[in-house]
A and B are shown apart, each in its own frame.
Chain A
Amino acid sequence: MHFHGRAWVFGDNIDTDVIIPGRYLNTTDPKELAAHCMEGIDPEFPRKVQPGDIVVAGRNFGSGSSREHAPISLKAAGVSCVIAKSFARIFFRNAINIGLPVLECPEAVEAIAPGDELEVHLDTGEIHNRRTGQTFRAKPYPPFMLELIRAGGLIPYTRARLQQERA
């Protein structure tokens, strides 16, 4: 899998209340959630973000609440993947489970400025910054997680497994 988009750069500890505030959690509709994505920190984000754009952040991205609405809102807003120095663990699981690729790469984050054009190759974990010409390699996924990602997330993976068990 391969993505190409502009970088949106955020700081450390971007929590899920900032990504999608609690007051909007009376819906599960991805489009409605996308309309408020990142509202706590940049109310213009949902209007400015383009399909394929990439969120770049510091440490502990997605901390706080377990709300899966957070990765759903990012994905539905058009974000193709998130690169961060580190992720909060529940957000990391949720993102993989719903098919929003997340890459951990502190060196790449340090070298990315807002608006930089990035190319991300998920299979190799390569992050290429077109502006600077630099290429970085994200921390590789464990094989089990790659299997989940290739299956399209936890639900297709589990459905296939349950079918096998029944057969």
Chain B
Amino acid sequence: MGMTMAEKIIAAHAGLDHVEPGDLVEVRVDFVMANDITAALAIREFEKLGVEGVFDRERVAFVADHFVPPPNIKAAEQCMTVRTWARRKGILYFEGGREGGIEHIVLPEQGLVLPGEIIIGADSHTCTYGALGAFSTGVGSTDAAVAMATGRLWLKVPPTMRLFYHGTLRPWVTAKDLILHTIGRIGVDGALYMAMFFTGPVIQSLSMDGRFTITNMAIEAGAKAGLMEVDEKTLDYVRPRAKRPFTVYRDDPDARYEVDLDFNVSEWEPVIAVPHLPSNVRPVSELADIRIDQVFIGSCTNGRIEDLRLAARILQGQRVHPEVRCIIIPGSGPTYRQALEEGLIDIFVEAGAVVGLPSCGPCMGGYSGVLGPGERCVSTTNRNFIGRMGHPTSEVYLANPAVAAASAIMGRIASPEEVRAQAMAA
């Protein structure tokens, strides 16, 4: 019986010829990551292990992004702890600046996570790197601490769910809509403990930025990992950046899938996940009477250059609605610079949006856009849980960057077509 890509990567890292779903194996990990929140706990656990240094200083990174720059003294202290420890141990450390930003944008950009690798990160959206053909999964701080010390971790081999996308994408239907539709269909625990394998011509047609958006949200269906095939686009992205040699794995023709799903995307519309689950997916056209107080465009889901270009296409020559706070945050230093060069930042500022510093921003209610009681936000992020972005009675509506930008202009949930129509009429 053949193996899936996920099984092959795990087998290779466990020193085995073959693994089966359900097997408990110990694997060698290629890279370990933690952020300013999870690293603070990981450090404390690491210190209990009685080892001096990490297993490999070039393969452990802390990325400060959740509370950066610090919004208060406690966050500043936490960040100091993480930064000081990282410097003392000589591991990789990113905090703002030229190369820093959001962990899941920074590490691929810097060529630190590569095809065929096992990457673990103390952040649930570590599954993002699966777009590169890696087995990449989120863990807690204690697992991260043990992996930092030993370069090893135990894993249960997940069964694979294959998702095949075909058809033609309609205008304004983006990678974000593909993953929201998918989660709406299978539910927030529809892929619990599984590896999701996204494939088919529609996936192949996406840019790397779009692909990262999809694998980023595999966790929102409960998955352990989200993977994609390595193709020319992957290699074009990876080759100039790669800090290490890498191996490409592919599914065997007779690989076994626990679940095999087929999606014809041709009839799909842009969608929004309404509070309070990413699976509460509705067409944008059904939600047009919902007034909003804030729009956030950014995050590890939609904070890449292609997302900013899409938002700029809608916002160019337009004004943000006077009752809406529109926050746009490029996901990393290089993304910010690129957006500046392309004139996107100009478009945003001219439209009346606030452009923030590369970080997670308000996504998890940290700062720079925390919602008050009953406030509503259309957000390009990945979670709309109760209280995620602030007060327990606030509401988050998950959308693609074009829908978010259109909503910022209209002051209510709106489709990009409506903005176009309004502009034509004016």
A residues apposed to B, CB below 8 Å: 13, 15, 17-18, 21-23, 25-28, 39-41, 43, 59-60, 63-69, 72, 86, 88-90, 93-94, 97-98, 142, 144, 153-155, 158-159, 162-163
Q: List 7 A-B contacts (CB under 8 A).
A: A15-B385, A17-B383, A18-B386, A22-B365, A64-B219, A66-B124, A155-B45
Smallest Cβ-Cβ distance to A32: which chain B residue: B74
Is B192 a contact of A94 with CB atoms below 8 Å? no
- Residue of A23, A41, A60 with highest tally of chain B CB at under 10 A: A23
Of all chain A residues, the one with the shortest Cβ separation from B24 is: A144
**Cβ of B188 and Cβ of A162 under 8 Å apart?**
no
A153-B142 contact, Cβ under 8 Å, with A25-B66, A26-B74, A65-B364: yes
Q: Is the CB–CB distance between A90 and B139 below 8 Å?
A: yes
Q: How many angstroms from the CA of A27 to the CA of B75 in the assembled complex?
A: 8
Given contacts A88-B189, A159-B50, whether A27 and B124 have CB atoms under 8 Å apart is no
Binds A, one of B110-118, B144-152, B334-342, B410-418: B144-152
Which 9 pairs between the two chains have the least Cβ-Cβ distance? Answer: A22-B364, A94-B140, A68-B140, A60-B189, A97-B142, A66-B124, A26-B74, A26-B75, A40-B387
Query: Which residues of A are found within 8 Å of B145, using beta-carbon distances?
Result: 155
Q: List residues of chain B with CB within 8 A of the CB of A27.
A: 74, 78
Closest A residue, CB atoms, query B364: A22
User: Which residues of chain A have C-beta atoms less than 8 A from B126's C-beta?
Assistant: 66
Tell which of B139, B222, B365 touches A23, judged by Cβ atoms closer than 8 Å. B365
CA–CA, A18 to B364, complex, Å?
11
CA–CA, A162 and B52, complex, Å: 12
A133-B221 Cα distance, complex, nearest whole Å = 37
| A65 → chain B closest CB, angstroms | 5
In the bound complex, do residue B78 and residue A90 qualify as a contact, i.e. CB atoms below 8 Å apart? no
CB-CB under 8 A for A89 and B192, given A65-B364, A155-B48:
yes
Q: Is A40 a contact partner of B50 (Cβ separation < 8 A)?
A: no
Q: Are B142 and A155 in contact, with the CB atoms below 8 A?
A: yes
Residue from A22, A23, A66, A153 in contact with B122 in the complex, judged by beta carbons closer than 8 Å? A66
Q: Specify the chain A residue showing the minimal Cβ separation from B66.
A: A25
Instruction: Return B225 CB to nearest CB of chain A, in Å.
Output: 10
Question: What is the interface of chain B, defined by CB distance below 8 A to chain A?
Answer: 24, 37-38, 40-41, 44-45, 48-51, 66-67, 72, 74-75, 78, 122-124, 126, 138-143, 145-146, 149-150, 154, 188-189, 192-193, 219, 222, 224, 277, 364-366, 370, 383, 385-388, 390, 392
Pairwise interchain contact A97-B365, C-beta atoms closer than 8 A? no
Judging by beta carbons under 8 Å apart, are B41 and A28 in contact? yes
Q: A155-B142, A155-B146 are in contact. Are A66 and B188 (CB under 8 A)?
A: no
Contact across chains for A66 and B123 when beta carbons are under 8 A apart? yes
Once the chains are docked, how many angstroms separate the CA of A72 from the CA of B142?
Answer: 11
Contacts of A88 in B (CB 8 A): 189, 192, 222
Having A26-B75, A64-B383, one finds 20 other A-B pairs with CB under 8 Å, namely A18-B385, A21-B365, A23-B370, A25-B366, A26-B72, A28-B40, A40-B385, A60-B222, A64-B124, A67-B37, A67-B38, A69-B41, A89-B222, A90-B139, A93-B143, A97-B143, A155-B45, A155-B49, A155-B146, A159-B50
Considering the chains assembled together, what is the distance between the CA atoms of A158 and B37 in angstroms?
Answer: 23
Contact residue among A17, A60, A153, A154 (Cβ-Cβ distance under 8 Å from B386): A17
Closest to B44 in A: A28
CB pair B188 A60 closer than 8 Å = yes
Residues of A within 8 A of B78 (CB): 26-28
Q: How far, in whole Å, are A65 and B51 apart by their CA atoms in the complex?
A: 28
In angstroms, how far is the closest chain A Cβ from the Cβ of B374?
A: 15
Given A13-B277, A40-B386, A159-B50: A154 touches B143 (CB 8 Å cut-off) = yes
Shortest distance from the beta carbon of B132 to any chain A beta carbon, whole Å:
20
CA A72 to CA B193, docked complex, whole Å: 22
Residues of A within 8 A of B49 (CB): 155, 158-159, 162
Interface centre among A27, A66, A98 (most CB of B within 10 A): A66
Bound Cα distance from A17 to B141, whole angstroms: 16
User: How distant is the Cα of A43 from the Cα of B393 in the complex, in angstroms?
Assistant: 13
CB-defined contacts of A39 to chain B, threshold 8 Å: 387, 392
Q: Which residues of B contact A67 (CB under 8 A)?
A: 37-38, 140
